[in-house]
A and B are shown apart, each in its own frame.
Chain A
Amino acid sequence: DGGITQSPKYLFRKEGQNVTLSCEQNLNHDAMYWYRQDPGQGLRLIYYSQIVNDFQKGDIAEGYSVSREKKESFPLTVTSAQKNPTAFYLCASSIMDTQYFGPGTRLTVL
């Protein structure tokens, strides 16, 4: 069963802690992306990666970090430097110009 999986579905973090969101795909897509969704603001691009061991900053990369050690995996770390991390985080991968999305992780900072 092919697709994009994100874990966990819900995540709670205390202020000052780093947390890592998982994104895995078995679609054999080269490119992967991380977006943040806030109410009324649509989706904003955090980071994207075109190939393994390469990634670029998106529009709101400050306070986030990523790695791309395997084609299938693109984890996102939300660091303590991110001032307002509470949001819905969406991972996507793409082939032939079309992006396909995972189910999302809802991060709440307590």
Chain B
Amino acid sequence: AQSVAQPEDQVNVAEGNPLTVKCTYSVSGNPYLFWYVQYPNRGLQFLLKYITGDNLVKGSYGFEAEFNKSQTSFHLKKPSALVSDSALYFCAVRPFSTGTASKLTFGTGTRLQVTL
């Protein structure tokens, strides 16, 4: 069975400082990895994904994530945080599959709080 761990319930960072939101995963075979962001009372917005290729993936709003196979991690990063980045962030994983539907497993989420 696949699983995702987001070890921090909340991450606090000052505006302008770099931020990291951690994610580790467990899956059989090669993973497909995703990051989503959720603002209050809204749906999830897709940020970025890793399927194959370069371990450093760039996504929306200046976010990037680094895939580390040996550590089974996919940490989300941003060089300079903004107050508007404050939201709930979800990491998700699925195994490689040729099926039409992609059955994702989500972490429990990490709340990012960026302060002035």
**Contact pick for A48, options B9, B49, B101, CB 8 Å:** B101
Interface residues of B in 58-108 (CB under 8 A from A): 90, 94, 99-104, 106-108
- Tell me whether A97 and B103 are in contact (CB under 8 A): no
- What B residues does A30 contact at CB under 8 A? 100
- Tell me whether B100 and A97 are in contact (CB under 8 A): no
Number of A-B contacts (CB under 8 A): 63
- Tell me whether B109 and A94 are in contact (CB under 8 A): no
CB distance from B11 to the nearest CB of A (A): 16
- Tell me whether B46 and A97 are in contact (CB under 8 A): no
Closest to B100 in A: A50
> Known contacts A42-B90, A50-B101: does B108 contact A101 (CB below 8 Å)?
no
State whether the Cβ of A65 lies closer than 8 Å to any Cβ in chain B: no
**Contact pick for B46, options A49, A99, A104, CB 8 Å:** A99
CA distance A4 to B34 in the complex (A): 19
- Tell me whether B51 and A97 are in contact (CB under 8 A): yes
A-B contact pairs, 28 of them (CB 8 A): A4-B43, A6-B43, A31-B101, A40-B9, A40-B109, A41-B108, A42-B106, A42-B107, A42-B108, A43-B44, A45-B103, A48-B103, A50-B100, A56-B101, A88-B41, A92-B44, A94-B101, A94-B102, A97-B51, A98-B34, A99-B34, A99-B102, A99-B104, A100-B46, A101-B36, A101-B45, A103-B42, A103-B43
Question: Which chain A residues have a beta carbon within 8 Å of chain B's beta carbons?
Answer: 4, 6, 30-31, 33, 40-45, 48-51, 56, 58, 88, 90, 92, 94, 97-104, 106
Q: Which 4 A-B pairs have the closest CB atoms?
A: A101-B43, A31-B101, A50-B100, A42-B106
Question: Which chain B residues have a beta carbon within 8 Å of chain A's beta carbons?
Answer: 9, 32, 34, 36, 41-46, 49, 51, 90, 94, 99-104, 106-109
